[in-house]
Amino acid sequence: MNKLLSSTKELSDKYIMNTYKRLPLVIEKGEGVYLFDEDGNKFLDFVAGIAVNCLGYGNKKFIEAVSSQLELFNHCSNIYYNKPQTDVAEILVENSCFDKVFFCNSGAESIEAALKLCRKFGNSKKEGCNEIITMKNSFHGRTLGAITATGQAKYQKGLAPLLPNIFYGEYNNLESIKALINENTCAILMEVIQGEGGVIPADKEFLEQVRTLCDENDILLVFDEVQTGIGRTGKLFAYENYNVEPDIICLAKGLANGIPVGAMMAKEKAAKYFSPGDHASTFGGNPIAMSGAKVVLDEIINQKLLQNVRQVGDYLKAELKVLKIKYPDIIQDVRGLGLMLGVECSISPSEIISECQKNGLLLIGAGHNVIRFVPPLVISKADVDEAVSVFEKVLMKINK
Ligand SMILES: *Cc1c(COP(=O)(O)O)cnc(C)c1O
């Protein structure tokens, strides 16, 4: 240990690569929907690891399932079968419109898997049919493929050359997408609600028309539900809110309540283009991650969790809309679905977020002027009351 530096913050800044702009908070433990720092300060957590910790902290079934899996065996190669992986695959397929799943370890990896499958599909149709349309202001992750798919220049700076044949349409603008489609287009990739871009939901009509466009032109439709999936919007998958089925879906964040995991699911018409050797992951579908994912999915499918997301989410949205009326100079818009809500501000969200943190509430930004509310899916109305009262106190202070 370095003797001159003592705090976790100082040591972290010395030894860990400088890729994160961190807030001055060292997390030590979690309990329910609260996090505690190393000084014992308590925070109501409306960040949840960025829409990850859907069951909060200390869920008994989750701890029990993961611990017993650890005692059975920690890992095995995908050259063998294992039951936890098969169980989760069955639950995902039987509760979705998809036929097959590929497991990986993160959102970006699920995007990579989808990009590869789309190219396999296109190139097998016609040599050179490998163009993919994604959206401006999107976010799909940080690997070179995913960052190329991400239609925001700020994330791509200095990384040239990016992947070829990815083109950007405008979200919620059908004409801009039509203009990019040609005989070499194999897929269209988009979020159902743009998350990092500022919590911007797709218009229902837009999704329906893109679906039709894909059908007419034999193009695969891929939804990146890394953030919106697994109950976040009040349905298991956000596409269910729109009644528009994609051919491929990407999942990650909430799937295993904080154990690294990702999944790419596809309908047979796309899935059939992957054969042994085409794609793989050493850790993908690891039994520990799968034991965690099984608990999350059981809670969502068999318990009243989705109902809670809808009820408490609607309540939070209504409360935030009241604040919009009370503080029209600060709040421009309140939007989102379920427990994925955004408050668009006319002032810098970072000041509001930092003041909230000082008052025991954790929030996170999205885009350049949006504050995101993505708490654990298990929060109650009382938790919302607590969060809203801190949020309002901060707005009141800033408004003066
Ligand atoms: C977070 C996110 C990703 C990237 O996930 P990682 O696990 O960080 O690679 C991709 N797409 C969307 C929509 C996301 O919100």
**Smallest CA separation from ligand 1 atom 10, residue:** 140
106 lines ligand 1 (CB under 6 A): yes
Give pTM, 2 decimals. Answer: 0.97
* Phi-psi group of 218: left, alpha or beta (phi > 0 → left; psi -120 to 50 → alpha; rest → beta): left
**Residue-level pLDDT at 1:** 47
Among 103, 139, 191, say which to mutate for ligand 1: greatest number of ligand atoms within 8 Å of CB. 139
Q: pLDDT tens-digit profile of 7-25?
A: 999 999 999 999 999 998 9
| Closest atom of ligand 1 to CA, residue 253 | 7
- Cβ(271)–Cβ(100) below 8 Å: yes
Q: pLDDT tens-digit profile of 219-235?
A: 999 999 999 999 999 99
| Closest atom of ligand 1 to CA, residue 138 | 13
225 lines ligand 1 (CB under 6 A): no
Among 142, 227, 372, say which to mutate for ligand 1: greatest number of ligand atoms within 8 Å of CB. 227
| Closest atom of ligand 1 to CA, residue 106 | 7
Cβ-based neighbour number of residue 23 at 10 Å: 12
Helices within the chain (DSSP H only): 8-15, 48-51, 60-72, 83-94, 107-125, 144-149, 153-156, 174-178, 204-217, 239-242, 268-271, 287-302, 305-326, 349-358, 381-399
**Residue-level pLDDT at 303:** 83
Burial (CB count <10 Å: 0-12, 13-18, 19+), residue 395: buried
**Residue-level pLDDT at 400:** 79
107 lines ligand 1 (CB under 6 A): yes
**Residue-level pLDDT at 128:** 96
**How many angstroms is it from 63 CA to the middle of ligand 1?**
25
What does each C-alpha distance from 64 to 61, 291, 296, 338 come to in angstroms?
5, 10, 13, 28
252 lines ligand 1 (CB under 6 A): yes
- Phi and psi at 178, nearest 5°, equal -55, -40
Helix or strand or coil: residue 32? strand
**Residue-level pLDDT at 298:** 97
| Closest atom of ligand 1 to CA, residue 194 | 13
Q: In the chain, which residues have pLDDT < 70?
A: 1-5
**How many angstroms is it from 250 CA to the middle of ligand 1?**
9
- Cβ(136)–Cβ(151) below 8 Å: yes
| Closest atom of ligand 1 to CA, residue 196 | 15
227 lines ligand 1 (CB under 6 A): yes
